């Protein structure tokens, strides 16, 4: 039995012939093609099956992610199991269920588990930003100094494109550092109030949508004057009022395309606002200098405005979160970062390595903000 009837699931089965299963990703309301999929197989213990994608080649550079324990833990199957748009898998003899995904899922249950680890922490407060069109609560986290007297404020957002799950592990790493007993954590909790929206497209995360290029526009093109979605409307209304002139930076976390040398770099997306971009580059150079985690970051991998897909034409459907944030009063730097799904300059992306990169980001936030204290802007 092959299905996707669980949070984040996505697959359409087109046919089964012998040991070959023909499948494709469910594009639903996606404009054009995209690559997200996540399904489970039950009742195949001991068999070797080939899964062939018929819509397009949607297998990443390390092959599919595989879980044999109901989605609790994951590993990369590896590129050796891949032939073009298909992969082959031999099911363990005792495997009642095996799950396969484009990458390693992160849904509501993962966020809930993370927040349970920090229950009772006075420097973390869980609120509700709004409700989605399907009635789900959109989490709003207040983290750090919560007495209203923090000299700095920062906005962190994730999953504007709901399929970009590896970015959520990096966000966990940022939050872990802020809440830790390390010197960096203590400094951030004393000096910064963070406002965090972990799932901007909450319905898409749980329903297993693509999210990117959603028709008539996706959540990261919804920051213009006529926003379609309750979440983006709520962010636009809340953030300027909450900031009180102390919003130092915003960071919007994403994942890029699944293949291609350029998409195996971690990179910041350049702004057409050159003053803002110079401030982002200052943060980026500091990140390159102090990083210690296994996922390498190189400033030379950034994507300046006007190069590759990052042109004015890419924004014809609407305004992105970072472009909107760059125009907020007093903002120092509005940043958007892309964290690959599977591979960074030869290093594997996993939940743990992505979390460690998030810790590098948090350490950079501390040093970058500390260096700017006493100035009106960087």
Question: Is 376 a residue whose pLDDT tops 60?
Answer: no
The answer to whether residue 61 scores a pLDDT higher than 90 is: yes
Beta carbons of 124 and 198 less than 8 angstroms apart: no
Nearest to 10 by CA among 25, 28, 32: 25
Residues pairing with 337 in the sheet: 253, 268
Distance CA 36, CA 96 (A): 24
CATH no., domain 108-372? 3.40.630.10
pTM: 0.97
Q: What percent of the chain has pLDDT over 70?
A: 98
**CA–CA distance, 35 with 57 (Å, rounded to integer):** 8
Helices (H), 69-199: 108-116, 166-178, 183-191
Strand order in the sheet with 2-3: 2-3, 38-42, 97-101, 65-67, 75-76
CA–CA gap between residue 243 and residue 304 (Å, rounded): 28
Domain extents in the chain:
2-101, 108-372
Measure the CA angle with vertex 228, ends 233 and 135; round to 5°: 75
Model confidence at 49: pLDDT above 60: yes
Task: Give 351's contacts (C-beta < 8 A, 6+ positions apart).
Answer: 74, 104, 106, 169
pLDDT value at 375 more than 60: no
Cα–Cα nearest to 265, from 279, 255, 274, 253 = 255
> What is the mean predicted confidence (pLDDT) over 52-70?
97
For the cut 90, the answer to whether the pLDDT of residue 256 exceeds it is yes
Residues 262-277, mean pLDDT to the nearest whole number: 93
Give me the pLDDT at residue 305, please: 87
Yes or no: say if 42 and 1 are a contact pair by the CB < 8 Å rule.
yes
Regarding beta strands 48-53 and 86-90, do their DSSP bridges make them parallel or antiparallel, or are they unpaired? antiparallel
Task: Please state the three-class secondary structure of 335-360 as a single string.
Answer: EEEECCCCEECCEECCHHHHHHHHHH
Distance of CA 330 to the CA centre of its chain: 26
Instruction: Give the model confidence (pLDDT) of 116-141 as tens digits.
Output: 999 999 999 999 999 999 999 999 99
Q: How far apart are CA 172 and CA 168, in angstroms?
A: 6
SS3 assignment, position 57: coil
Which uninterrupted H or E stretch holds 241?
A: helix 230-243
pLDDT band at 34 (very low <50, low <70, confident <90, very high): very high
Average pLDDT, the chain: 96
pLDDT at 294: 98
Residue 152 to residue 74: CA distance in whole angstroms? 37
**Residue 377 pLDDT level (bands cut at 50, 70, 90):** very low
Read off the pLDDT of each residue in 212-219 and give the average, rounded to a whole number: 96
Tokens encoding 317: 């459907």
Place of tokens 């299905």: 3
The pLDDT tens digits of the residues spanning 240-252 come to 999 999 999 999 9
- Give residue-wise pLDDT tens across range 136-182: 999 999 999 999 999 999 999 999 999 999 999 999 999 999 999 99
Q: Is the pLDDT of residue 65 over 50?
A: yes
pLDDT over 90 percentage in the chain: 92
What confidence score (pLDDT) does residue 373 get? 61
CATH number, span 2-101: 2.60.40.3120
User: How distant, in Å, are the alpha carbons of 12, 30, 276, 308, 374 from that of 258?
Assistant: 20, 17, 28, 16, 42
Predicted local confidence at residue 163, as pLDDT:
98
Give me the pLDDT at residue 378, please: 42
Q: Which of 280, 254, 237, 303 is nearest to 368 (CA)?
A: 280
Q: Which two tokens stand for residue 341?
A: 């799904």
Q: Give the per-residue pLDDT at 309.
A: 82
How far is it, in rounded angstroms, from Cα 180 to Cα 188?
10
């Amino acid at each position: 039995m092959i299905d996707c009837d669980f949070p984040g699931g996505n697959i359409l089965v087109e046919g089964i012939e012998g040991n070959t299963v023909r499948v494709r990703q469910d594009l639903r309301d996606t404009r054009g093609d995209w690559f997200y999929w996540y399904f489970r197989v039950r009742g195949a213990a001991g068999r070797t099956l080939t899964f062939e994608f018929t819509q397009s080649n949607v297998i990443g550079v390390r092959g599919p992610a595989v879980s044999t324990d109901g989605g609790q833990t994951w590993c990369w199957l590896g590129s050796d199991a891949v032939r073009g748009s298909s992969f082959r898998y031999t099911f363990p003899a005792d495997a009642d269920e095996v799950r396969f995904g484009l990458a390693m899922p992160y849904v509501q249950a993962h966020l809930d588990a993370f927040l349970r680890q920090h229950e009772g922490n006075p420097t973390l407060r869980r609120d509700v930003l709004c409700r989605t069109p399907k009635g789900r609560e959109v989490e709003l986290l207040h983290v750090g100094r919560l007495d209203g007297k923090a000299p700095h404020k920062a906005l962190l957002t994730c999953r504007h494109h709901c399929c970009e799950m590896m970015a959520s592990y990096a966000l966990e790493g940022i939050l872990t550092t802020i809440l830790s007993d390390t010197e960096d954590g203590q400094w951030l909790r004393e000096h910064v109030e963070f406002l965090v929206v972990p799932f901007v497209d909450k319905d898409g995360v749980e329903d297993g949508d693509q999210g990117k290029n959603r028709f008539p526009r996706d959540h990261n093109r919804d920051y213009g004057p006529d926003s379609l979605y309750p979440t983006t409307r709520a962010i636009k209304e809340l953030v300027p009022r909450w900031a009180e002139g102390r919003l130092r930076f915003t960071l919007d976390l994403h994942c890029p395309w699944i293949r291609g040398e350029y998409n195996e770099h971690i990179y910041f997306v350049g702004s057409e606002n050159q003053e803002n971009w110079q401030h982002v580059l200052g943060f980026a150079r500091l990140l390159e200098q102090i990083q210690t985690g296994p996922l390498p970051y190189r400033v030379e991998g950034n994507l300046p405005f006007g190069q590759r897909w990052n042109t004015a034409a890419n924004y014809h459907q609407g305004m992105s979160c970072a472009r909107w944030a760059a125009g907020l009063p007093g903002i120092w730097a509005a940043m958007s970062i892309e964290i690959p799904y599977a591979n960074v300059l030869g290093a594997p992306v996993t939940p743990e390595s992505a979390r460690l990169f998030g810790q590098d980001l948090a350490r950079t936030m501390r040093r970058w903000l500390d260096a700017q204290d006493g100035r009106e802007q960087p």
